[in-house]
Structure 1
Amino acid sequence: MELYTSFLLLSLTSFFTLINPLAIMPIFMSMTADLESQKKVHTARKAVVVSFFTLLIFSTTGEWVFHFFNISINSLKIVGGVIFILMGQDMLQARLVRTKVDKADVDTYVNDISITPLAIPMICGPGAITNGIVLMESTTNVMEKIILIVVIAVVLMLTYIVLVNSATIYRLIGPTGNNVLMRLMGLIVMVIAIEFMVSGITPIIRQILKISP
């Protein structure tokens, strides 16, 4: 049970900080400013649903991709750790790490902004996809796989709630509060990055030095 709890906390923390709904919130507000409330809710719902299935597909097919390209999970952990460090560094400086959308380009996305850029790559970005693949590969039984899928669904539901109530939340916490929370999430992301890199490098070093685990 303790093992499941640790995996649950790792999955929940990593996905929430990497998806970071608070970072998406200002962009969502600007892109849906001229839409009616019902349209905003529909846009947020569709973006979350698309993100869920995208993460689910990448997470569950990651093992097949590894075997096809002969890629090691340890190598992916190291690369994922580097990606997370870069993302965490941006968060620590309170910079949005999502795709920037110029006002001149908003009209291009009006017809289906829920898929691009909201779902991909803002919600379901390279960090979240890598995290899903790495965590799914590290599961040892069906229960852990179920926990991971449920965590993805829960985090995306929280993201949906944040987006739908974005105007209210932004008024409550203000720009300063938003920056503080982003920096805290950035610190957590960088800690997770180090954990991933260490867990990926250790087996490789042991293999090179022929040290038994």
Structure 2
Amino acid sequence: MQETYSFGLLALTSFFTLLNPLGTMPIFVSMTSELPEEQKRKTARKAVVVAFITILVFAFSGQLLFRFFGISVNSFRIVGGVIFFLMGQDMLQARLGKIKMSEKESEINAYVNDISITPLAIPMISGPGAITNGIVLMEDASTFGKKLVLVGSIVIILALTYVILISGTRISRKLGPTGNNVLMRLMGLIVMVIAVEFFFSGLKPIVQDMLK
């Protein structure tokens, strides 16, 4: 039971930092600034649902991908560690990904459908870091209980992401530019620590096999 709790805590913290809802929030606010409140909620809801489906599909199909391409989970951990480290480095320097937004559509619904899937759901919410994290943690989930905990953790973090996005205007106003930068740097530091753990947990078995 203790092992399951530890696994759940790892899943919650890693997905929160990698999904980075506080980093996505200012971009969501700027892209939906001219939309009515109900359309903002619809955009956030659709983006979160698409992100959930994307992460879940990759998490459960990870083993098939490994077998098809003939790669090992340890190699994936190393690559994932590198990806996380680079993401954390950008976050530590408070650099947000630059999003090129097309001109506003004549109909609001068309615009909502356009930005909710790309770039909000993919790659901002369910980016390479979150997808890699889902695959690796699903591989580590050796029991059915752990798999349920993993899926539950994804649901919890994405629900929190939805709340943060629809509350983005108020949160950004209260935190201010300095507060947003501090939070992003803090999350970047956590992501880099997770990256080191992932990298060496994948490297250690490979080095041991080489020495044998």
- TM-score, normalized by length of structure 2? 0.95
Q: How many Å separate the matches in 1 of 2:152 and 2:59?
A: 13
Contact 1:77–1:200, Cα closer than 8 Å, also in 2: yes
Deviations 1:5-55, CA, capped at 9 Å, x for gaps: 111111111100011111101110111011000000000000000100110
**Alignment partner of 1:167 out of 158, 169, 176:** 169
Structure 1 residue 139: deviation in Å?
A: 1.2
Structure 1 residue 106: deviation in Å?
A: 4.5
Q: Secondary structure at the match of 1:71?
A: coil
Query: What is the one-letter code of the residue matched to 2:104?
Result: D
The answer for the alignment partner of 1:107 in structure 2 is 104
> What percentage of aligned pairs have identical amino acids?
61
Query: What is the one-letter code of the residue matched to 1:159?
Result: T
Question: Could you list the runs of 5+ residues in structure 1 that have no partner in the other structure?
Answer: none
Residues 115-194 of structure 1 correspond to what in structure 2 (within 5 A)?
Answer: 115-194=117-196
**Alignment length, in residue pairs?**
207
Question: Could you list the runs of 5+ residues in structure 2 that have no partner in the other structure?
Answer: none
Q: Secondary structure at the match of 1:107?
A: coil
Q: What RMSD, in angstroms, separates the aligned Cα atoms of the two structures?
A: 1.2
Contact 1:31–1:106, Cα closer than 8 Å, also in 2: no
The answer for the alignment partner of 1:69 in structure 2 is 69
Over 3 Å counting, the alpha-carbon distance change for 1:175 and 1:106 in structure 2 is: farther
Q: How many Å separate the matches in 2 of 1:172 and 1:8?
A: 31
The answer for the alignment partner of 2:30 in structure 1 is 30
Query: What is the one-letter code of the residue matched to 1:77?
Result: R
Over 3 Å counting, the alpha-carbon distance change for 1:106 and 1:28 in structure 2 is: farther
The answer for the alignment partner of 2:59 in structure 1 is 59
The answer for the alignment partner of 1:195 in structure 2 is 197
- TM-score, normalized by length of structure 1? 0.94
Q: How many Å separate the matches in 2 of 1:34 and 1:168?
A: 15
Over 3 Å counting, the alpha-carbon distance change for 1:106 and 1:48 in structure 2 is: farther
Query: What is the one-letter code of the residue matched to 1:107?
Result: K
Deviations 1:57-106, CA, capped at 9 Å, x for gaps: 0000001110111110000000000001100000110111x3x2235x24
